[in-house]
Structure 1
Amino acid sequence: MRAAAGTALTGVAVAVTAGLVLAGGGATAEKSGEPGISTITARQLMKVTDVHQATGMTLLEGPVFGPDGDLLVVDVTAPAGEPKVLRIDVRTKRAEALFTDDDSVFTSAQISPADGRLYLTDLRAGTVDSISLEGDDPRTFFSGKVEGTVMQPDDLTFDPDGNLYVSDTSGHDDPAGPDRGRIVRIDRDDGTAEVLAGDLPAPNGISFDTGFGGLWISQYADNRIDYARLAGNGRSVTSLHPAVYVDGGRAQVDSTAVDASGNIYQMFHNRPGAEVFSASGEHLASVRAPVPDDGDYSATNLAVRPGSREAYLTVSGPSGGFVYSFRALGEGIRQSNGG
């Protein structure tokens, strides 16, 4: 079953904190205790979802700006019939349902440069699906096994030609043996899939660098970011190495994003914020999202509006799912817009 596109959600529009200026990113920056590192305080823009009674939580992910300027997000834990993809107008601070179905668990969203459709990874089914930007015409783009094993697709990104690169996070929930994750390439034309790298510790975030010569991959089970250099045709990994080790404490690395300056934004499960690193591994900034003191919150992903420094962070926890805003270090590009 699918909800009609444009169905308004009750009570999702929440007034932003007085004084928020979107054009400036809605954040303040100050020096942190660590030399050379700034602390950026993101401001709450709006509450988007409440905790679902059926699943006991809400988890916003995969923010991506469409060509009309609206922000599209997925709710990973939305039950059947409730909005699984939402459209947010960040200027009027209103959200509406875009798409739902009976059994998907969408964990990321990205707009294809090949056909302009919204692609969604379904962690439960092991598929990559797509819908129109109007929220209709659902299709399954990829399903089945990849070299003998069904994926647990988490995040995705596209190369300039529209080929898909997906993090298969298999093993993320198996403390006895998490090194079963993979990076999978799916051809945009015929849907054939091939494993580019395997035996990984539950990869989560995946983003190209600015030159499309390699991938930044966050390893959920090892709290690090790896760099995978690609062959010229993008169909094989020529080298892969740990690039940045992240001090997460109880938190674990989640999605990644890359801005036009090449900076890497690392988001977290069980931490309401992000860390920003240069392509050479320097720790540049810490983003903090002030949240209610009622339990653990996660800031799992962000989008930087293409061509601007307006950044929007998805934050979820016991009080619901929120969008926070701040000013990014660099302008938004495809690698900081969805995935």
Structure 2
Amino acid sequence: MRRLPRRLPVRSLAVLATVGTLTLTGCGTDTAGPGGKAAPGATARTITAKKVMQVTKVHEETGMTLLEGPTFDEDGTLLLVDVTAPAGKPKVIRVDLARKTARPAHTDSRGAYTSAQFSPYDGRIYLSDFAHGEVVSLAPDGGDPRTFFSGQVDGAPMNPDDIAFDEDGNLYISDSRGLTEGEETGRVVRIDREGEKATVLADGLAATNGISFDVDYRGLWISELTQNRISYLRLGENGESVASRHTAVRVDGGLAQTDSIAVDADGNLYQALHGRAAMLVYDKYGERLATIEVPARDQGLESATNVAITPGGTKAYMTVSGPAGGYLYSFDALAEGIRQSNGG
């Protein structure tokens, strides 16, 4: 994370592994048929997202900025995290979309937060700290920071990336272990809503990144960054085990890699891309429906990390970052937003 390179290092997390020592230390071509799907014989459509606003600039201290974890609060305000924000700079940011203004919501001296989401159990904001293997919670206003979970799980520390909540408020975390070493030791970890019991549901994964429940909360969609694939985990009784697991989509990303993932009310998957300012949209059977991308004239943007779709609406907001800074872009989603498309 010195000067932003032509392409960010793998999810910028290889650098985050050493962040503690730094004292961080719808438009476009439309070939769609009914329901937003590509018409028979047609290729997936391209949707060009519109620039909403710039939120952050490159930080001199870390050499970059990386927006992530967009999530709406009950008032419709959008919260974001800046993964590489240095100590004292805003690490959680509150965005007023109507006024196109941003203000700090939380900062601290060490966290490297890669996701944010509101718990359905206690209403607090939960943040994953990749660099320190912790999950931190905040009051809805950004105050009252608490360490919700810290320590090893099954004898190994976590590198928590994204978070998905079940309906009862239990956490399901993509643990991106092995990312910096290039080893397939990633995991999916379940932590009960009290933060007392942590269980490894799946292991041997290729740098687990995105995670989201399907519409019916029967299983989890996960993206594996270093294998460019989306896998599906069917959950067992009470969501405390995995009944089955399979590769669902093999993503043809080229130089880009699979980042965070979201699910809309129709069950469509929104797969963010690290290394390209774009998202790919698939239906639940793996059919490619659309590509969301920023205008070609918008230079200096290299990754689209995540998306939040307005709850009950179709306006989607995508976090995009690169040498030009951290931005929000909007587009019309293929279906309405639900909890599974609001943070993670």
Aligned counterparts of 2:27 and 2:196: Cα–Cα separation in 1: 42
**What's the CA shift for 1:30?**
2.3
Match of 2:337 in 1: 332
1:113-152 to 2 correspondence within 5 Å? Answer: 113-152=120-159
Asked if the contact 2:301/2:324 (under 8 Å) is kept, the reply is no
**What's the CA shift for 1:31?**
3.5
Q: What is the TM-score with the length of structure 2 in the denominator?
A: 0.88
Aligned residues: 312
Asked if the contact 2:173/2:211 (under 8 Å) is kept, the reply is yes
Aligned counterparts of 1:231 and 1:318: Cα–Cα separation in 2: 44
Q: Secondary structure at the match of 1:335?
A: helix
Instruction: Give the aligned residue type for 2:127.
Output: L
Match of 1:309 in 2: 314
**What's the CA shift for 1:167?**
0.3
**What's the CA shift for 1:41?**
0.5
Alpha-carbon deviations, 1:100-128, whole Å to 9, x = none? Answer: 00010000000000000000000011000
Asked if the contact 2:149/2:195 (under 8 Å) is kept, the reply is no
Match of 2:287 in 1: 282
Are 1:238 and 2:243 counterparts?
Answer: yes
Instruction: Give the aligned residue type for 1:157.
Output: A
**What's the CA shift for 1:157?**
0.5
Asked if the contact 2:278/2:304 (under 8 Å) is kept, the reply is yes
Instruction: Give the aligned residue type for 2:30.
Output: E
Give identity over the alignment, percent: 56
**What's the CA shift for 1:191?**
2.4
Aligned counterparts of 2:29 and 2:153: Cα–Cα separation in 1: 45
Asked if the contact 1:164/1:187 (under 8 Å) is kept, the reply is yes
Aligned counterparts of 2:317 and 2:219: Cα–Cα separation in 1: 25
Q: Which residue among 245, 252, 262 is the counterpart of 1:247?
A: 252
Q: Which residue among 235, 251, 258 is the counterpart of 2:263?
A: 258
Query: Could you list the runs of 5+ residues in structure 1 that have no partner in the other structure?
Result: 1-25
Query: Could you list the runs of 5+ residues in structure 2 that have no partner in the other structure?
Result: 1-25, 33-37
Distance 1:100 1:162, change over 3 A: same
**What's the CA shift for 1:29?**
4.8
Aligned counterparts of 1:190 and 1:297: Cα–Cα separation in 2: 36
**What's the CA shift for 1:294?**
4.8
**What's the CA shift for 1:195?**
0.1
Q: Which runs of 4+ in 1 moved over 3 A?
A: 26-29, 31-34, 291-296
Alpha-carbon deviations, 1:207-235, whole Å to 9, x = none? Answer: 00000000000000100000000012100
Aligned counterparts of 1:295 and 1:161: Cα–Cα separation in 2: 41
Aligned counterparts of 1:38 and 1:316: Cα–Cα separation in 2: 23
Aligned counterparts of 1:285 and 1:173: Cα–Cα separation in 2: 31
Distance 1:190 1:95, change over 3 A: closer
Match of 2:174 in 1: 167
Aligned counterparts of 1:296 and 1:121: Cα–Cα separation in 2: 24
Match of 2:234 in 1: 229
**What's the CA shift for 1:27?**
4.1
**What's the CA shift for 1:135?**
1.1
Q: What is the TM-score with the length of structure 1 in the denominator?
A: 0.89
How well do the aligned residues superpose, as a CA RMSD in angstroms? 1.5
Are 1:30 and 2:33 counterparts?
Answer: no
1:67-216 to 2 correspondence within 5 Å? Answer: 67-175=74-182, 178-216=183-221
